Chain A
Amino acid sequence: GQSLEQPSEVTAVEGAIVQINCTYQTSGFYGLSWYQQHDGGAPTFLSYNALDGLEETGRFSSFLSRSDSYGYLLLQELQMKDSASYFCARLTRDYKLSFGAGTTVTVRA
């Protein structure tokens, strides 16, 4: 079953900020990754947090709080090309990834 929970859909306008939350099971937890997938395409790696705090990569940032079993992906200055599905993925100590069901982000003009 799912060991991560994230919202199924988010809609926002161009230029806005979107935060996608992810809660996870702690058993065997090593770190939290984020992947982007455009319709019909392959998932691509966005960001990774092993320690508490914020990781910034351009317009995208990812945050982790291990004590709260919680993380989020922050998308800033939204662009139409950011319309996609975003997956949080739990990396376990045996280096396997378990994916959430994904959040579909729709950017409106």
Chain B
Amino acid sequence: DAEITQSPRHKITETGRQVTLACHQTWNHNNMFWYRQDLGHGLRLIHYSYGVQDTNKGEVSDGYSVSRSNTEDLPLTLESAASSQTSVYFCASSEGQRETQYFGPGTRLLVL
């Protein structure tokens, strides 16, 4: 069955370290998104991509970067982790009916 996976599911890191969160989907969707979820804020868009080699900034992109070298993967990199980046991170993908996004299980990141 097609799916979207994220790894790791849990991560503890230290301030200043570089961290990469993986997102992999097997639906062959062109559109992929990264969100962070914090209490009281719902889901906020970090970066998104509409196809290979395409990346765009969302509303909370500072301190994050993405790259899209193939259809299946959109890794999210925290260049220098900060305590304010402690959050739950969700990856999502969509195709065709773009109002339907399929979410991965999430990665819980703690920055100490």
Say yes or no for B58: interface residue by CB 8 A criterion.
Answer: yes
Contact between B101 and A97, CB atoms less than 8 A apart:
yes
B99 within 8 A of A: yes
**Cβ of B75 < 8 Å from any Cβ of A?**
no
Q: How far is the CB of A83 from chain B (nearest CB, A)?
A: 18
Most chain A CB atoms below 10 A, which of B40, B50, B92, B100 = B100
Q: In the bound complex, do residue A45 and residue B58 qualify as a contact, i.e. CB atoms below 8 Å apart?
A: no
Number of interface residues of B (CB under 8 A): 26
10 contacts between A and B (CB under 8 A): A2-B42, A41-B105, A42-B106, A44-B103, A48-B99, A95-B31, A96-B33, A96-B48, A97-B33, A101-B42
Query: Could you tell me which B residues sit within 8 Å of A by CB distance?
Result: 31, 33, 35, 40-45, 48, 50, 58-59, 90, 92, 94, 97-106
User: Is B42 a contact partner of A99 (Cβ separation < 8 A)?
Assistant: yes
> Is there a chain B Cβ closer than 8 Å to A18's Cβ?
no
Chain A's nearest CB lies how many Å from the CB of B66? 15
Residues in B whose Cβ lies below 8 Å from that of A101: 40-42
